[in-house]
Amino acid sequence: MAGKYGPIDRAAQEKLDLDRMMSNHGADCQNTISAMKSHTTMMRSWRPAACRPMFLFVLLLTVSIPAGYAEDTAADTAASSDDTADATVKLDGTFEAIRQFEVTADNEHLTDLVIERIVPSGTNVTDGQTLVWFETEPLDDKIRSAESDLAIARLELKSDEFANEQFLKQQSLDKAKARRTRDEAQQNYDNYQRVDRERAIKQAKFSLESSQFALESATEEYRQLEQMYKEDDLTEESEEIVLRRAKRAMESAQFSLDRAQLQHDRTIKQSIPRDDANQEEALARAVIEYEKTLHAMGIDKQKRELELQRKRIKLEQQAEKFDEMRAERKKVVLKSGLDGIFVYGTVTRAKLPAKPVELKKDTSVSGKQVIGTVLDPAKLQVRVELPEAQLKAVHVGDRCKIVPKGIADSELDGVVKSIGIVPLTAGKYDCIVSLRGKALADVLPAMTCELQFPQANPKAADGAENKDEATK
C-alpha cells in the first residue's frame, strides 16, 4: 500500500507547492506550462497508471490560475491610477501684485475733472512719472468763485459782529428801563401802603365830619335867627328873607353831609379794598414783566452769540475749504507712486474691471474716482476663490504647484498663506497663495493659473496594508 499510494501523495504535494509559488510571484502562463511539462516528463518514469486522470485535473487547474490572476492585477493597476488622479485638487487662481498704487485725484471739492491727456493702459511706468493731466480752466473758475464767496462771508461776519455790539448796548438800556418800571411800581405800592391808603381814609372821614359841622352850624344859625326875629321889631318881609336864606344854607349843609357820608362809605368799603388789590397786582405785574424782560434778553443774547459763533465757524470752514481747493488745484497732474504696469480702472482682488475702461481726452471723471492702477510685477501672489467643498482639502501651510495658463511648460511652487474665516461670496472663501522662489519674468499681474494640491490616497494606503498582510 505504501508503494501503491506514495507517488500519488508526492504529486499532490508538488501541486500545492506550485500553486503557492504562482500566488506569491505571479508567473505567467507560458512559464507555468513549461515547468509542468518538465515535471510531467520526470513523473512518467514512476507514476502509476491509475493516477493519470488525477494528474490531468491538477494540470488544468494549475494552468487556469495565472490567467485570472493577470486580469485582477491589471484591474487593480487601473483602479490605482484612477485613485491617484482623483487625489489631486485643482483650483483656478489669478496672479496678484502685492504692491499696487491707485491713481486718483482724491478731491473733496474740485470734483468735476476733465482729462486733457492720459498714458495708454498697459504702459510700463516708473515711480514719479506723470500719468494723467487735467484741464485747469474749470478748476480756476471754481476757485475764483470760492474766493469771492469767502470775501463776502467775511464782510457779513463783520456786519453781524457790529450789529451784535449795538444789540448788547440796546439791551443794557432796555434792562435799565425795565428795572425803573419795576422800581416805580414798587415805590407806588409802598407809597400807597404807607401814605395814600391812610390819607384816603382820613380824607373821607374828614369830609364827613366837615359836612356834619357845616350842617350843625347852619342849623344853629337858623334857630338863632328864628329866635331873634321873634323878639325884635323887624318887618315880616325882612324876616322871611333872612330866615329863608338860613334855612337854605341848613338844607345845603344837610345835602353835603349826606353826600360826604356816601363818599365816606364808598371809600372805606369799596375804593380802599379796590386800590389795595390794584396796587398788589400792579407790583406783581411789574416784577413779572421785569423778570420776563431779563429772561428774554438773556435768551436773545445767547441766540445771537450762538448764531454769531456759528457764522464764525462757517467762515473758518469756508476758509479751510478754500485752502483745500487751492491744494487740490495742484493735483492737475497725477503721478505714479511706484514702478510697474499702468492699467485703467480699479483692480479688485487681482481682477481687472469686467468691462474695458475707456479713458481719453475730454473724458469727465469724479474727484474720488480711481482712474487707473499701477501694478508692480516684481512681487506676486495668487488670489483664489476657494470653494467651500475644498476647505477640508486645502489648509494654511499646504504646498502646491502653480501652472500659468498663458505660459507653456512652466510651473511654480506655492504655499497657502491665508484662508478667509467668513465666505467672500456664497460658497466661496478668499485664499492667498504665496510664491516660493522667484516668479517667472513672463508672469504678470492679472494672469490666470491652475493650482494643483496633491492629496493622500486612502484607497492606495488600504491596498498597501492588505498586501503587507498577505505577504506576512
Residue type, 122: G
- Give the pLDDT of residue 401: 95
In whole angstroms, give the CA distance from residue 260 to residue 267: 10
Closest CA to 317 of 155, 91, 120, 149: 149
Question: Could you give the C-alpha distances from 372 to 269, 330, 338, 387, 431, in angstroms and in order?
Answer: 100, 19, 13, 30, 25
Q: Is 354 helix (H, G, I), strand (E, B) or coil?
A: coil
3-class state of residue 115 by DSSP: strand
DSSP state of 49: G
Domain 89-129+336-455 has CATH 2.60.420.10: no
Q: Amino acid identity, residue 131? A: L
> Which of 188, 171, 182 has the alpha carbon at shortest distance from 291?
182
Instruction: Please state, as a whole number, how many other Cβ atoms lie within 10 Å of the Cβ of residue 39.
Output: 16
Q: Which of 309, 311, 321, 304 is nearest to 155 (CA)?
A: 311
At residue 245, the pLDDT reads 76
**Angle made by CA atoms 49, 50, 54, in degrees to the nearest 5:** 110
Q: Is 127 left (phi over 0), alpha (psi -120 to 50) or beta?
A: beta
Q: pLDDT per position in the chain (472 positions), as tens?
A: 344 334 445 545 555 555 555 544 444 444 444 444 443 443 344 343 333 444 333 333 343 444 444 444 444 444 444 444 457 899 999 999 999 999 999 999 999 999 999 999 999 999 999 999 999 999 999 999 999 999 999 999 999 999 999 999 999 999 999 999 999 999 998 988 888 888 888 888 888 888 888 888 888 887 777 777 666 655 566 667 777 777 778 778 788 888 888 888 888 888 888 888 998 989 899 999 999 999 999 999 999 999 999 999 999 999 999 999 999 999 999 999 999 999 999 999 999 998 999 999 999 999 999 999 999 999 999 999 999 999 999 999 999 999 999 888 889 999 999 999 999 999 999 999 999 887 788 899 999 999 999 986 555 445 544 544 544 4
d(CA 91, CA 429): 12
Core vs surface per residue 244-279: b (16+ CB within 10 A) or e: eebbebbeebbebbeebeebbeebeeeebeeeeeeb
The dihedrals phi and psi of 365, each to the nearest 5 degrees, come to -135, 160
Three-state SS sequence of 144-208 = HHHHHHHHHHHHHHHHHHHHHHHHHHHHHHHHHHHHHHHHHHHHHHHHHHHHHHHHHHHHHHHHH
Secondary structure element (H or E) that encloses residue 281, with its range: helix 272-329
Residue 204: Cβ-neighbour burial (10 angstroms; 0-12, 13-18, 19+): buried
The model's pTM is: 0.58
Whole-Å CA distances, 22 to 25, 76, 360, 472: 5, 18, 81, 16
DSSP codes of every residue in 1-16: -HHHHHHHHHHHHHHH
pLDDT at 232: 61
Looking at residue 286, what is its pLDDT? 92
pLDDT of residue 16: 52
